[in-house]
Structure 1
Amino acid sequence: AADPYLDILPNGETQTKPIGSSIILTCKPKVDDPSLISDMQWLDPRNLVIEPLNPRGITKPPMYTELHQDGRLSLYFNSLQEQQAGTYTCKGIYARNVQLSKSVTIDTIIAITWENAPPNQYPILGEDFDVHCQVRARPSPSVDWLFNGKLIKTDDHYIINTYSLKIKNVQERDDGIYTCRASVQTTGELQERPIRVEVHIRPTITEFTKPTDVIEGENANIQCHGDGKPSPVITWVKSLTQQNLSMTDRFGVDPVSGILTITNVNREDAGEYQCMATNAAGTVTATTQINVIIKPKIMEFINKTVVEGKSVDIQCKAFGRPPPKVSFRKLTLDKPYADGAQSDDDRIIVRNKPDDTSSDVTVGILSITNVLTDNDGLYECVAENIGAVAYKNGHLTVEFPPSFRNMPNITYWSFESRPVNLTCIAESIPNATIRWTLHEQKIDTDPYLQQIGNGPISILQIRPIDRRYYTHYKCIAMNPHGTREHLIELREATRPSELLSVKMIEITATTIRFDLIPPPHPDLPVVTITVQYKEELHTWQNAKNKTWSVGSVYVIEGLKPQTAYDFRFAGRNEVGLGNFGNFHREITPGRTVPKDPRILSTPGFEYENSQYSHQYELSWVTPPDNGEPIDKYLIKYCEIRRVVGDWEILDDTCQSIEIKSPGRTRQYLKDLKYDTYYIVELQAHNVMGFGKPGYVKFRTARGSGITVDYSNAGDTCKTDVAITAAVMLLSLAI
């Protein structure tokens, strides 16, 4: 029989197993009679008995033994750990006295494990950086590096360390994927760890609002733009309180653009502010000063009163930050007064000074010496700083003694004991009291004199019952600053005398026109002139009358042809009609053709310019008919051209129009050529024949121009009546 012994499965004195694996070692007796085996045990590397599994245990131990019915004893490892490596011994007794023993060595293998190899790592531009890749394995691994698939070797830029790859003076080109490659030659294990390296750039502040002014009550935006990689987040704090302004009432911060918004700025917002740009590479800070501009406010602008000839200082106090500049303007002037003495009036001086009680208050002073009444009136105080402009009005009252300077120096007239009112107006501040005297005597006792009003306007009502009342009256005005007197004359008016001149300037068979010069009016002006006229053999009792307003056209119509007429004239004023005089005799000529019509044109121009390109509006004044009514007009128009400084008529272009409406004074000439010169000849006709023609030249407009088609271009076109009438009056006046 063979000697008894123990056999351990799996075979081999050394069992190499990976960490974390579950394994079983079976100790099997090799004996003739397995029932004679006893005291089977497994001993750990410290020679301690490994206990069998407790069926009542809650959890399994890291290792335990299990005895099988056939006498085998198994050793179980739930998850092999590195510290469980070593020599394990299986023991047993055979037939009570034969000691059996067998050992096996467990050698643990550690698979490649990445212990400190983050997949994303962030170096900072310009600095040295270790790309970490710490590997653990048993047997010890070998580590090498690749960048974008190329093997890295130690040089001036890279240093390969045990647990890292050092990149010296990191640049943006170092961005990319690095591969940490670990291998164990004895086991043939190979692992690769891709690591993304993103170069970060420390933040910088590139756009930043320097110390700035913001206006109280308005909104303000403060710039702070940061660059970096990754893009920095912008925060703002007020230096004094270190309060995060993104969470502060009235403040807003855009973390991307960096704009700090202040809503409804108030004066407490002034101070130093910090802008911080932060990214993964660091934080950078910049500070700025915010100055709050307080809009000017005029605190005091008091009305002033001064006596003419004295001096006055008008003060205007204004508050603001920075202190406002104060200027003054009289509201009747376009521009404010300049600082200092005025170039056109050195009596007026403007100056500013700081207030004694506050550095934010300016006192503006408008000084006027030897004050004139013209200085009276409304003044505007203007306070201005970089924030706004404020305005306030004040009044300067200049008191002065009574004055009659704006009172018209006129003579009053009366006649036939008619009552008359003499008006006296005294200007003064304060208002003057007025009294009247006649020959240095009070008027209170005279029943024909009555004073109405005691100032500043007073009326003396006079009923001149005899010549004593036609004299000078004295108006006396008085106030606290003086007394002034003014004489007003009342004279007796008479009827006009004879006209200065009577001339006949035009006569036809039925009309006569005079040039009349009324008499001078030392009393009252002549307002109308009346003529009496009769046939030579008739008496004045049967004469006809005609009255004209002075300055009108003095024309008598409806006369008989070839008849001698006598004329006499008288002027009328407010008193009445003067005596007739200026006797004049004329004989009307016989009936004949009408006078030449006066065509309405622009005085001083060689030709008229039509506003139309293919038509022209011809207007005229009805001429005297010379005893027989006008029954028609003949219009002839021809093209003309300028030849050596004169005009040549193109006879083959002439056309004629006969108008049988004698009341018409307007006609449109149609179908004309554009930009062409024409001459028009207009004749009036009665039973005696055609009179002399009137002439006008015109030029049509260039291009297509405006065309207005009047199917009835007579006096019925209401839109042109007013224009034609105005032109007629202009020509007549000329």
Structure 2
Amino acid sequence: MLGGVLSAEHARWTSGERERAYRKEGKEGAEADQSPAEPKTADERSRACVSPLSIFTAAESSVRQRETCPKMMLKLVHFLGVLVCGSQAALQVSISLNKVELSVGESKFFICTAIGEPVRLEWYNPQGERIVPSKRMALHTESSRSRLIIYNAIIEDAGIYRCQATDGSGHTEEASVVLEIYQRLTFQDVESPQEFRYGETAEVVCDVISSPVPVVVWYYQDKEITEEHHSKFQVLANNNLQIHQVTKADEGVYRCEASVEARGEIDFVDIAVVVNVPPVLSVSQQSFNATADYQESVTFTCITSGSPDPVVTWHRKGQQLEPSEQYIFNRLEGGRSMLTIRNIRQGDGGTYSCKASNKAGSQEGELFLKVFVQPHITLLKNVTAVEGSAAMISCVAEGEPLPDISWRRAKDGQPFVDGDKSQDGRFEVRGRHGKSVLTISGVRLTDLGRFDCEALSRIGGHQKSMFLDIEYIPKFLTNHTIYYSWEGNPVNISCDVMSNPPATMLWRRERFTISAEGTANTRVHSTEGKSVLEVTPMSDRDFGRYNCTARNNIGVRYQEFILAQADVPSNPYSVRLSAVSQRLATVTFMKPDSHGGVPISYYLVQYKEVGSQDWRDVKSHSVQTTVVLTGLEPNTTYEVRVAAVNGKGQGEFSHTETFQTLPIREPSPPAVHGQRGMGKAYRLGLVKQDDGGMPIVEYIVKYKTDKEEQWMTKLVPGVNDFAMLQPLQWNTRYEVEITARNVKGLSEPTFYQFFMPQKPDITAESLFSGLGLGAVVGLGLGALLLLLVLVDVSCFFLRHCGLLMCITRTLCSKKTATSGKGKEIEEGKAAYLKLPLKEENGKESLKPDTIEIKVHSDNSIHTKPDDSKA
């Protein structure tokens, strides 16, 4: 490889260059022809064996220096001799850079290259310590090449770094690089703005670093601060600017400029200087008076100044006051701060402070509020006493002047004052210095309730209430202790208790406690003050005595219940028939003497025709002892009997009674009431009476004027409940005769008279006054609808648009389909209509109830009965 390089270099020379080199270097070539002395020792031979790289470098240098060809050939021969003299290769180390300048914070890398056969490449820092990889220094080594990386350089990293190569025999070679590190101009955490207190000596901080040390110059209002400003400004040794007795006039922007002449580096920072003036506070009025509980308000005022504007806070008893419904804060121009205390109360009296604060300091001012207090009850608590014991109720009140205290029982208004004692000696009052004690001896349940304490003085009064609670042993609320049931029928045994505090309740059966979960045939359902034992008797052993125990911390009580076997009721008696007609009869009876222990559910009334075996049943409504029988046949004899039914079952029937319905006859005269109709009409209301056992077919209404002899007749169907008589004459009295008719005949007539008034004046006002609101609205809507129809018709003929035009077009589009249907009729296809048949009296009862009307193409009509129901 080396030979190839040398051959290439040799080929570059031209023959002319070689001739000139020979002529110029002839003498040197002759000297070079002399053979060197043979090394005698091993060390000499080692020193005589020159590195191939050195020879190659020399060869390159010779080429560049245009050595003569003979001299170059001699050196090549010498190089080959060195190669022959020994097989070992000498180490040579080089670093990519010799000297480097680096600023603080920058990063750099260096490459170390070794020629030969190194087995180890190592770097050493300026302190001579071998470098190992770290966060700021990294090493990357590959056989004969190693790279050292320095991250974020610092001043301490400056110095000489060495790269050392070691071969297999332990021989070492090294190279070095000089690293110089300098600090750029850097302003360290310079704050802006910088604030100072008025009148103090201010030091404006400008911390700047560099290497070498920078020159710092200060500027204010675009002018350099020099020695002539020494009385006010002074640049300190640490480059900070000192301002003597700083004032508001010294506020502004100061420039700190730093430079390094050696590098021509310059930089600056602007710093705002703020001068804070301590607050000054004054109070125009220091003392205020108010009366508590009269919704009065007081306003305190503080006047403050300072820079920055002071923050004003209000304090009381060491605590800062916060805005609320009672405390209202306001701040006006001119530094006026106000605190308004609303709805002043007794506890609002005392000293208040106004505190003005800013960055330069704080100042306080005090104000005093004196509160005149009306009587106020401060202590009155609810009291709990045990029935039969004594209760003491205390009431404490304050005020200026000290109030007098009295008591009143709320439920009856009974007063109790100091020194009094009730007639029964159980209530007594003792009090002094704003405190009163009401003592109740032998507390009873009737004492339970509210008591009022009232404190009075010449300023006013105050009343407060308390509640006297009484604890007592459980008391059972019901004497219902016997319950009835039967096997398989569940029954609820209820144990109701009143107690204070609430009692715990449990059930016992023959000295055994029934658990809350119950047993196979018992369950317990409990709520406060009530426990229900659900028992489902399965045998005779489940009937008997059950015990309910109620217990609280005052005492314990017991109540015994009996579960007895129930029976069916006994029979009702005194069965009577009343209001018997052709179709109806009313049955009345007396309740049975015994309900069997279970409440009666209803009564069963049975009736049948004499001689028949089929009884028909009618149930009473709930437990009413009156039952109406309907649907009876006229002139028929019936038998009736009554039995009571309870949960256990049906009891025995009563004695059988016999009655006969009335035969069919003419109806009773109808009842009539009248009401004037609209205009010349009169409305007769018809109230049906006894129809005689058959439906009323019609009412025959005859009427005439009192001056005429001839009657006019009007027939009204029996299903109607009124008859309208019209037209009638104005200012005329009429006589009316009404008769009801059934299939049996006519009733006796009912006579009625009425008077038609004079003809009213027809005016616009009277016309509309006779109409109701609905009629007026209807007329208005009708007029509006008519107007819309006229507009639509006009649009149809003039504009060919509108609703009528849309309908016309739709009908025309269906003309083909309509023509097809007409053709079917012409061809003889029939159309059928079904109409109901009616009797002469108007009832739809004839069968078949419809007929078919068949329309043929020749317009002839044929009818036939509908036999679909035959």
**Higher RCO (Cα < 8 Å, 6 or more apart):** 1
Task: Note whether the superposition's TM-score is higher than 0.5.
Answer: no
* TM-score for both structures, normalised by structure 1: 0.44
Structure that is richer in strand per residue: 1
* TM-score for both structures, normalised by structure 2: 0.37
Structure that is richer in helix per residue: 2
